């Protein structure tokens, strides 16, 4: 990790009316790092993600009450996403930071071909000729391992399997070569074999394009597969944060121990062996 984090979230507090959804949360993300945010349902993971994208106020009644979300720019300067203009935020979304959601069907437009939707993601931030955008679309489809891209580019979302649709979403998220990808439970809706393929794809893409990833999940098995570092949340609050190795071999907090106990093979790790990539849920990569 470089000395200055790519993203530095400090004291983030988000409320829905009087109800606190994220309470004084602080964490950092280094360049090229995969940070898993884990915790039970309702612990504040998705609200944190939506806040980083500054979509929380746009798409829900939630409000960022306090805190900073500092994003380091390629030139080394830092912008606080809590205090920047909407036009600057539009440049950040999909460009510096992009997001992959759990259920691609609700995010993809059923009336447009997947090719058109990927091309739109390509040209939203960077104007390109029709030919260049088409070629880039095929390249992205290839990168996310969609076979027969030249044929599938003309297909509609309903003609693709769930796993292929998720690959389309990932291609769209990669369109502008973001420095941060936020993946909110991207594999939850998929069966276990396809989950494993998507996880392996995300790891491969991190290595190829060097993007940092915030991976939101409630599945400690998935954490073991992909994460470098783990942030545990419970009831809107930070619980603990450590390397994936330390979380699995030496969890400090009772809540983290409980989460691990729910995954028996991982919970029983001695910590003597490096948990390179565990085999979990039958999903060996
Ligand atoms: N649109 C909304 N309106 C009102 N409250 C919300 C909304 N979205 C989230 N919340 C509340 O914010 C808190 C955090 O929710 P969040 O969705 O971030 O949890 P999560 O950890 O992502 O859970 P899950 O794993 O189920 O997605 C919860 O108490 C939830 O009820």
Three-state SS sequence of 175-195: CCCCCEEEEECCCCCCCHHHH
Q: How confident is the model at residue 36 (pLDDT cuts 50, 70, 90)?
A: very high
Q: Could you give the CA distance from residue 247 to residue 240 in angstroms, rounded to a whole number? A: 9
Residue nearest to atom 9 of ligand 1 (CA): 47
Q: Could you give the CA distance from residue 94 to residue 111 in angstroms, rounded to a whole number? A: 21
Of ligand 1's listed atoms, the one at least distance from the Cα of 42 is 19
What are the phi and psi torsion angles at 70 (to 5°)? -90, 120
Say yes or no to pLDDT of 135 above 50. yes
The interface predicted TM-score of the complex, written ipTM, equals 0.97
In the block, residue with structure tokens 């530095």: 8
24/224: higher pLDDT: 24
| pLDDT score, position 264 | 53
| pLDDT score, position 222 | 86
Between the CA of 193 and the centroid of ligand 1 the distance, in Å, is: 28
Say yes or no to pLDDT of 174 above 60. yes
CA dist list (Å): 143 to 29, 35, 93: 24, 22, 21
Give the mean pLDDT of 16-31: 97
Q: What CATH number should be reported for the domain whose range is 1-96+178-262? A: 3.40.50.300
In the block, residue with structure tokens 């759990």: 102
**147 Cβ inside 6 Å of ligand 1:** no
Query: Best mutation site among 47, 231, 234 for ligand 1, i.e. most ligand atoms within 8 A of its Cβ?
Result: 47
DSSP letters for 36-52: EEE-STTSSHHHHHHHH
Domain ranges of the chain: 1-96+178-262, 104-177
Residue nearest to atom 16 of ligand 1 (CA): 44
Q: How confident is the model at residue 265 (pLDDT cuts 50, 70, 90)?
A: low
| pLDDT score, position 274 | 34
Question: How much of the chain, in percent, has pLDDT values that exceed 90?
Answer: 64
Quote the pTM value. Answer: 0.87
Between the CA of 42 and the centroid of ligand 1 the distance, in Å, is: 5
| pLDDT tens string 176-207 | 889 999 999 888 777 778 888 888 888 888 88
Q: Could you give the CA distance from residue 142 to residue 152 in angstroms, rounded to a whole number? A: 11
Between the CA of 112 and the centroid of ligand 1 the distance, in Å, is: 30
Which of 68, 53, 62 minimizes the C-alpha distance to 12? Answer: 68
Of ligand 1's listed atoms, the one at least distance from the Cα of 43 is 21
Among 97-106, 137-146, 213-222, 225-234, the minimum mean pLDDT is found in 97-106
**41 Cβ inside 6 Å of ligand 1:** yes
CB 14, CB 22: distance < 8 Å: yes
**117 Cβ inside 6 Å of ligand 1:** no
Q: How confident is the model at residue 156 (pLDDT cuts 50, 70, 90)?
A: very high
Q: What is the mean pLDDT of the chain?
A: 87
Between the CA of 66 and the centroid of ligand 1 the distance, in Å, is: 18
Token duo for residue 232: 């545990």
| pLDDT tens string 89-103 | 998 988 899 998 877
């Amino acid at each position: 990790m470089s000395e200055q984090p790519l993203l530095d979230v400090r004291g983030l507090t988000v409320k829905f009316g009087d109800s606190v959804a994220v309470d004084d949360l602080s964490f950092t993300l280094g360049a090229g790092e995969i940070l898993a945010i884990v915790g039970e349902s309702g612990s504040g993971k998705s609200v944190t993600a939506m806040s980083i994208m500054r979509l929380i106020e746009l798409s829900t009644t939630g409000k960022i009450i306090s805190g900073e979300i500092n994003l380091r720019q390629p030139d080394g300067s830092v912008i606080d996403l809590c205090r920047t203009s909407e036009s600057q935020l539009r440049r950040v979304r999909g460009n510096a930071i992009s997001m992959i959601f759990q259920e691609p069907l609700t995010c993809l437009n059923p009336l447009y071909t997947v090719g058109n939707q990927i091309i739109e993601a390509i040209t939203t931030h960077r104007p390109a000729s029709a030919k260049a955008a088409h070629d880039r679309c095929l390249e992205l489809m290839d990168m996310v391992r969609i076979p027969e891209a030249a044929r599938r580019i003309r297909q509609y979302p309903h003609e693709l399997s769930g796993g292929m649709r998720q690959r389309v979403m990932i291609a769209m998220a990669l369109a502008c070569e973001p420095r941060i990808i936020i993946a909110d439970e991207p594999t939850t809706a998929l069966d276990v074999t396809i989950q494993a393929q998507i996880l392996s794809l995300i790891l491969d893409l991190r290595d190829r394009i060097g993007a940092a990833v915030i991976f939101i999940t409630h599945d400690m098995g998935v954490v073991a597969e992909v994460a470098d570092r783990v942030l545990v949340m419970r009831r809107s609050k930070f619980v603990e944060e450590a390397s994936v190795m330390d979380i699995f071999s030496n969890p400090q907090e009772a809540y983290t121990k409980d989460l691990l106990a729910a995954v028996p093979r991982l919970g029983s790790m001695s910590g003597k062996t490096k948990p390179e990539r565990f085999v979990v849920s039958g999903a060996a990569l």
